């Protein structure tokens, strides 16, 4: 079945919520305290438990976050938001097998949600499961309407690490090329393309991408790949 649009919005916020810096913990503590008071009055409220679980996760209190999530899943097995929060906190805790189980259950119940497909790719990458990561990132990129540059980079990395013995990273090149069509001015993508082209024996074409990167990032260091060094001399840089 498909989740409702308001669920998608909530899940988007959960996925992109970063772990805050130390200065933000006081505010989060206040939010947790406020939610705890509300939960005392409504102990079976799933929405309050989920909000508190996510704040616990942000605060680094993973055990308390798990407790709230498990409470929700006991009352409502397969609850979409709970599965997503569980997958993310277990990934952040490096409990990758538990994270994979949670995200696969979410995807089975809610197929085609790009947010979940990206979370699955992140789990495989952080677990160094490069074969699965390569497939997962490509699946995510095919489903997403406007993937961010970091996702193309992560996909390229997974493909290469899965095929470490390969001397011709054609598929990795294709992924970065697709990323550059969406984000032509992103330095990291141009720099990655230059690096891959050197590995593929095309230093002349690589120079073009390195120049594009160097113009926006003048302190960019030379690229060194397979014994070759790609740098810019003063003439090229000023052209």
DSSP per position, 55-98: HHHHTT-HHHHHHHHHHHHHHSTT-HHHHHHHHHHHHHTT-HHH
Show the tokens assigned to 26.
Answer: 């006081």
Give the residue from 184, 186, 213, 183 showing the smallest Cα distance to 236: 213
Show the tokens assigned to 62.
Answer: 């993973």
Give pLDDT, residue 223: 56
Please determine, for residue 1, whether its predicted confidence score (pLDDT) is greater than 50: no
Q: Give the C-alpha separation, 131 to 57, whole Å.
A: 29
Q: 98-115 pLDDT, tens per residue? A: 999 999 999 999 988 999
CA end-to-end distance (rounded Å), the chain? 57
Number of domains the chain contains: 2
The CATH number assigned to the domain holding 40 equals 1.25.40.10
Residues 51 and 159 in one domain: no
Among residues 70, 92, 127, the one where a domain terminates is 127
Q: 16-65 pLDDT, tens per residue? A: 455 454 445 688 999 999 999 999 999 999 999 999 999 999 999 999 99
Q: Report if residue 94 sits inside a domain.
A: yes
Residues 1 and 30 in one domain: yes
**SS3 state of residue 225:** strand
Residues 98 and 151 in one domain: no
Residues 121 and 59 in one domain: yes
DSSP 138: H
Range of the domain at 9: 1-127
Q: 187-238 pLDDT, tens per residue? A: 899 989 988 998 888 888 888 888 877 777 666 666 555 445 555 432 233 2
For CA atoms 20, 22, 27, 30, the dihedral sign is: positive
Give pLDDT, residue 79: 95
Where is 228: in which H helix or E strand? Answer: strand 228-230
Residues 11 and 113 in one domain: yes
**Three-point CA angle 106, 162, 97, nearest 5°:** 35
């Amino acid at each position: 079945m498909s989740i409702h649009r308001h669920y998608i919005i909530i899940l988007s916020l959960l996925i992109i919520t970063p772990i805050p810096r130390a200065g933000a913990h006081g505010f989060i503590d206040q939010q947790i305290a406020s939610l705890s008071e509300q939960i005392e009055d409504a102990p079976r409220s799933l929405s309050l438990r989920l909000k508190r679980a996510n704040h616990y996760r942000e605060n680094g209190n993973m055990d308390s976050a798990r407790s709230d999530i498990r409470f929700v899943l006991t009352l409502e097995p397969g609850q979409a938001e709970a599965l997503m929060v569980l997958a993310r906190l277990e990934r952040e805790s490096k409990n990758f097998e538990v994270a994979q189980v949670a995200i696969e259950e979410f995807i089975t119940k809610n197929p085609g949600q790009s947010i979940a497909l990206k979370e699955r790719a992140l789990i495989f990458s952080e677990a160094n499961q490069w074969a699965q990561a390569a497939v997962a990132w490509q699946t995510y990129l095919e489903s997403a309407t406007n993937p961010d540059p970091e996702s193309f980079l992560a996909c390229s990395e997974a493909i290469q690490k899965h095929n470490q013995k390969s001397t011709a990273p054609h598929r990795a090149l294709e992924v970065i090329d697709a990323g550059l069509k969406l984000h032509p001015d992103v330095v990291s993508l141009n720099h990655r393309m230059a690096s891959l082209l050197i590995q593929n024996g095309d230093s002349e074409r690589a120079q073009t991408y390195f120049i594009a990167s160097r113009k926006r990032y003048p302190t960019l260091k030379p690229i060194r790949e397979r014994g070759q060094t790609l740098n810019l001399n003063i003439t090229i840089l000023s052209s």
